[in-house]
Amino acid sequence: MALPQPGPDAASRAALRFIQRILPGVDAVEAGPLSDPAFPRTDPPQLSAAPTLDGSRMRAETVQGEPEARFAAFLDGTQSVRIVARHGGVPIVLGIVAAGVRARVDRRLIAWTGSAPRVERRLYLPFAYAPALSFEGDATFGVVDTTDAALGELPSRHPAALLESAIKSVRRDRERLESALAEAWCAACDEPICIDGGIASNPRVASSALAVGVVKTHNTIHADGPDLELVLGLAQGERTTPFRIESGGRAQVTSWYLRLRDNRGHDATWGLVRIEACATVTTAEEVDRISRWVLAEGAPLALPDGRWDKMSYGVRNSEEFLRAIA
Amino acid sequence: MTGQALGRVVATERRPNTPHQFHFWTAVTSPVGIGTIVRVDGEHPVDGQLPKIYGAVIEGFSYSDLVSPMHDVLGHDGEPSSAGFAPTERTEIRLYTAAVLRMIPEEPLQPVPMGSVFLADENDVAVALRMDSYLRDGASTGIPIGIYHAGGTDAPIYLDADFLVGPEAAHLNITGVSGLATKTSAVEWLLSSLFTHFPKEKGTIAAVAFNVKGPDLCYLDQPGRIEPADEAMYEKMRVPAKPFDNVRYYAAYDAGGYNLNTLRSNDALLHNVQPLTWGLREVLQYAEVLLNKDDVDAKADAVIDFIRDKIAGREFRDERLARRRYKVDSFAELDEWFRDVLAMLEEANSESYRTHHVATIRKVRNRLTNIALRCAGLVTAEGTVSDLPFGSFEDRGVYVVDVALLEEDAQDLIFTRIVSKLREHLERRNLGVDHVVVFVDELNKYAATEGPETYVRKMLLDIAERGRYLGLVLFGAQQFRSQVHRRVVGNSGTSLFGRMDADELAAPGYAVLSQAIKTKLSTLEKGQLMVRHPHFTQPVFIRFPRPAVMQGREGVELFPQAAEVSLDAAVTRSLRVLDPSISLEWVKQQIALREDDEVIQARNATVLAHPRDVKAFFASRMRPLAPVRAEAPKQRPVSIKLPVGDDPYGF
């Protein structure tokens, strides 16, 4: 559980010192980390029906067989965003991203030795609105221009918009780290890895039979109409028939919904995860097999994390690990 | 330094490190436990030197990332058995608190810095416990007490002879529950070690052990069974695994006066068992030990002083008394003197004798003659003295005084007199050795915190407080340290703790120990001890080898106590030690017409004298018998035959 932080942490203070060396007049901002690193939501809630693999209507299937623990590792990434200073009205954002693989050896989770966990500390600055801020980073702090044309449309000068674009950049960096580590695992190992989130962003990972993505958030539900009812009504241990997800710029993957825990007394998505696997996973047997792996991770509970209904203990352990080193 | 780090120092604002205590975590599988000695290698130099901190683990914590036990219950649906099937074990921490043993450099004294934690190796242990100061080549005063074991480290732990035997500090106290064979065994082992490693330049040393219960100390000269693990410890500590070479036993007789009152009375072991008998003079010196304070008021004390100064062992003349000249060397002779004095007073119708009132004299007579009865077997009526060899103690000799079967009064008397004599001789430097270790078990009884002031307690306090200047060292043992006089345990430089009772550990004296140390103390195995020594800033846990002497229980089975026998058999047994040719028949012939007292006196004198011709000496100690006169042959009565006549009844 994260303890309340009364003031800037060591990384923020270091970042501030770094900036003040370059811009002595910059104003320090006394603020803790943004409470919800996912803020602002980039994906508004939406329904996006996806075709089932066999072209039939979506069905609820009971996962056949007993849960079996097959994941040899868990991958997760973290991001932390802080406004450490402002230059005029421009927020200077410190983003710390980290990603790591926790390998399971003799039922214990340890850092995967194949590729070290990665931590990056960067300052996210809108060069376009504050030319004075267009300085270069050093070994400790990299600098990212959040108004780089390559990132798309120029954000508004509004401080909130600048913050939002910084956060998007931070998220991109996190995904990049995660993706690199997932790719390294798939290249070096021959056992499955459980990845927190989707796998479609990296084609190499998405095409690996070892990578299994477990998506916990449901801003986009890949079902509509009666299928939506079916998804939200899945009982514990049930899954949907697999469907194909193919979105612009992302690799094609096979996906299905799986209810990990009985959601009686909770909301409809409680205990509900969406699984992503490589597109070659097509048969019910393969889908059941991977579902059994995910179901096996139901214990130990990921408490006290509030997402414990969907989160595996391995992923929580990865998060804790990254929090400690980042 | 070598070795792989087994932990990291951690400190938080809530739980900071201090100059005397620090925290570190380890892997779950690390061999660290309570009592383990560790070394911290600092990472930033202080005054140009990378600091090294040595500590002993005093507390341990373990917890997982669970916030509430309920989470674990929920995770396993309330079924503990299903926890074993979880694919992943929860992350668990082993967090330890260690008390600082030593910091290098010692100045400036700073809080323990962050750094890697290593298991202390043998050299580290020596440095941590400051043993390096007294284990110098050629000038070592180290006395091995046991082996410290942790992980792959087996390091001998040494006590400093200067702090065990004096003059810097002295005395040793050992406490622990009964029945684990730890206290006596530890002392037996430590005496072996002390005798082996006591530095020559410190002089000679001997031990006097009081066997106060059972057969514990009755077989110190007999080899015991030891395990290979014990042998390895002996070898590592360079102490020969063998019984004591030079042991002499002393035991009083039983009330009958002719059977030794000891469990070591088997014929096979009598060669080094000597009777312990004292006469009037020896007892009078310590009469106060046996006399009730209420009895011995100033007036009675004056009579006793008069007897001690004017009567006992001296020529005494008084024309008014029946015998006029007295030489009182025994209780029997003293009683004759009393009788004559009282008779004279009665005859003269007087109420005082040399200013002493007749009632006081009667009272003192009653009390003193009663001593001979209360300490029968120890105190001989005829005054024969068989004592420890004060003045000719031998280096590395062990003198065991077996008082286990004696009455409490006799125990007190023996105890007080022997220790007082040791002290006197050490003061005069004529005991025969420079240092004496006195081992006393059951200090709860002899030096209790509460209860009446006794001579034994006074004497123990005296040893504890002043003995180290004389070379008189107390090794005391008891079950409840908290019930022993504070000045006795407080003056004990070295303290050993075996397994402890929880009630005892709850006493205020143990408040300085952490709960984990207390828990460990209450679960110590046989052969494990916690050691406190002036050089060690924290207690150290060690394992000591089984003593290489026969244990009491085994000894009793192998050498059963001789049955109580008749006077002639007892005399035969005593004399046969001096002359194996002496037979029961010969003894029977010699004592056939003698009074028991006379025989016992002759036996005692012979045993004491160790004469070359035992038979002749023994015979000479008895009064010659009057020659048997040849009687004239008796004449057979002859019947008188009378003429019968006509008497029909005549013969």
CATH number at B258 reads 3.40.50.300
Same domain, B359 and B475: no
Residues B329 and B346 in one domain: yes
Instruction: Write a three-state SS string for B252-272.
Output: CECCCCCCECCCCCCHHHHHH
Whether residue A284 is contained in a domain is answered as yes
Concatenated DSSP letters of B59-114: EEEEEES-S-HHHHHHHTTT-GGGGGG-SSPPPEEEEEEEEEEEEES-SS--PPPS
Give yes or no for B91 touching A (CB within 8 A). Answer: yes
Hey, are the CB atoms on B88 and A304 less than 8 Å from each other? Answer: no
B600 pLDDT tier (thresholds 50, 70, 90) = confident
Cα–Cα distances (Å) from B493 to B111, B170, B207, B467, in that order, read 29, 5, 18, 12
Coil/strand/helix, residue B41? strand
Residue whose token pair is 């020529």: B315
Question: Same domain, yes or no, for B472 and B598?
Answer: no
B68 and B49 inside one domain: yes
Question: What is residue B1's predicted lDDT score, i.e. its pLDDT?
Answer: 45
Is A109 in contact with B91 (Cβ distance < 8 A)? yes
> CA of B10 to nearest chain A CA: how many angstroms apart?
13
Q: Is residue B71 less than 8 Å (CB to CB) from chain A?
A: yes
Give the number of A-B residue pairs with CB atoms closer than 8 Å: 55
Domain count, chain B: 4
Asked if A297 and B88 come within 8 Å (Cβ–Cβ), the reply is: yes
The string of pLDDT tens digits covering residues B532-557 is: 999 999 999 999 999 999 998 899 99
pLDDT higher at B33 or B379: B33
Please answer whether residues B488 and B511 qualify as being in contact, where contact means their C-beta atoms are separated by less than 8 angstroms.
no
Question: Among B110, B128, B146, where does a domain finish?
Answer: B128
Among A254-263, B43-52, B350-359, B447-456, the minimum mean pLDDT is found in B447-456
Relative orientation angle of helices B596-609 and B567-578, to the nearest 10 degrees: 10
State how beta strands A243-245 and A253-259 pair: antiparallel
B14, B79, B88, B93: best to mutate for the A interface, most A CBs within 10 A: B88
Provide the token pair at B459.
Answer: 């004497």
Q: Do A104 and B75 touch (CB under 8 A)?
A: no
Residue B227 lies in a domain: yes
Interchain contact, A317 vs B91, CB within 8 Å: yes
pLDDT tens for B214-266 read 898 999 999 999 999 999 999 999 999 999 999 999 999 888 878 889 999 88
What mean pLDDT do residues B578-599 have? Answer: 87
pLDDT at residue number A33: 67
Is the CA virtual torsion B237, B241, B246, B251 positive or negative? positive
- With respect to residue A4, please indicate whether it lies within any of the assigned structural domains: no
User: Does residue B511 fall inside a structural domain?
Assistant: yes
Contact A108 B75 (CB under 8 A): no
Do both B319 and B401 map to the same domain?
Answer: no
A45 three-state secondary structure: coil
Structural domain span for residue A47: 10-325
For residue B15, the chain A residues in CB contact (below 8 A) are: none
Residue B396 shares a structural domain with residue B545: yes
Tell me if B142 is assigned to some domain. no
Pick from B502, B527, B554: which residue ends a domain? B554
The reported pLDDT for the residue numbered B649 is 52
Q: At residue B491, does pLDDT exceed 50?
A: yes
**Cis geometry, peptide bond prior to residue B105 (ω within 30 degrees of 0):** yes
CB B117 within 8 A of CB B57: no
Q: What pLDDT, on a 0 to 100 scale, did the predictor assign at position A36?
A: 53
Query: What secondary structure, in 3-state letters, does B478-517 show?
Result: ECCHHHECHHHHHCCCEEEECCCCHHHHCCHHHCCCCHHH
Contact flag A297-B87 (C-beta cutoff 8 Å) = yes
Tell me what the pLDDT averaged over chain B comes to: 88
Flag whether A3 is in a domain: no
Note whether residue B379 is domain-resident: no
Residue A320: list chain B partners with CB under 8 A: 65, 91
Per-residue model confidence as pLDDT tens digits over B353-397 = 999 999 999 988 988 888 877 888 888 767 778 889 999 999 999
Task: Using DSSP, state whether B53 is helix, strand or coil.
Answer: strand
Neighbours of B399 (CB within 10 A): 23
Per-residue pLDDT of chain A (326 residues; tens, 9 = 90+): 334 445 567 788 888 888 888 887 788 887 666 655 445 555 688 999 999 998 888 999 999 999 999 999 999 999 999 888 888 888 899 999 999 999 999 999 999 999 999 999 999 999 888 877 777 777 788 889 988 877 778 888 888 888 889 999 999 999 999 999 999 999 999 999 999 999 999 999 999 999 999 999 999 999 999 999 999 999 999 999 999 998 777 899 999 999 999 999 999 999 999 999 999 999 999 999 999 999 999 889 998 889 999 999 999 999 999 988 88
Position A1 in a domain: no
What beta strand segments (E) does B269-358 contain? 273-275, 315-317, 325-327, 352-353, 356-357
Chain CA centroid to CA B192, Å: 14
Residue A184 forms part of a structural domain: yes
**Does residue B355 share a domain with residue B442?**
no
Give the model's pLDDT for residue A4. Answer: 41
Query: Does residue B418 share a domain with residue B531?
Result: yes
Give B70→chain A minimum CA distance, Å.
Answer: 10
Nearest to B263 by CA among B27, B464, B564, B524: B564
Number of domains in chain A: 1
Mean pLDDT of B256-279: 88
Tell me what pLDDT residue B280 has.
83
Give the one of B65, B74, B87 whose C-beta lies nearest to A296's C-beta: B87
Q: What range does the domain containing B612 cover?
A: 565-620
- Put simply, the answer to whether B72 touches A296 (Cβ < 8 Å) is no
Q: What is the mean pLDDT of residues B459-473?
A: 91
Question: For residue B85, what is the nearest residue in chain A, using CA coordinates?
Answer: A299
What pLDDT, on a 0 to 100 scale, did the predictor assign at position B651? 42
CB contact under 8 A, A313 and B88: yes
> Does residue A186 belong to any structural domain of this protein?
yes
Give the phi and the psi of residue B353 in degrees, each rounded to 5. -125, 115
Residue B94 distance to chain A (closest CA, Å):
15
pLDDT band at B640 (very low <50, low <70, confident <90, very high): low
pLDDT tens digits along B172-214: 999 998 877 689 999 999 999 999 999 999 999 999 999 998 8
Q: What is the pLDDT of residue A178?
A: 96
CB contact under 8 A, B88 and A104: yes
Q: Both B404 and B272 in a single domain?
A: yes
Dihedral of the alpha carbons of A211, A213, A214, A216, in degrees to the nearest 10: 160
Is ipTM > 0.90 here?
no
Residues of A with CB under 8 A from a CB of B: 1, 69, 71, 104, 107-109, 296-301, 303-304, 313-314, 316-317, 320
- Is B573 inside a domain boundary? yes
The predicted structure's pLDDT at residue A200: 93
- β-sheet bridge partners, residue B157: B146
In this structure, are residues A224 and A206 in contact, taking their beta carbons and an 8 Å threshold? no
B269 shares its domain with B314: no
Rounded to whole angstroms, the Cα distance separating B619 from B193 reads 46
CA pair distance A248, B443, nearest whole angstrom: 89
Q: Residue B167: is the preceding peptide bond cis (ω within 30°)?
A: yes
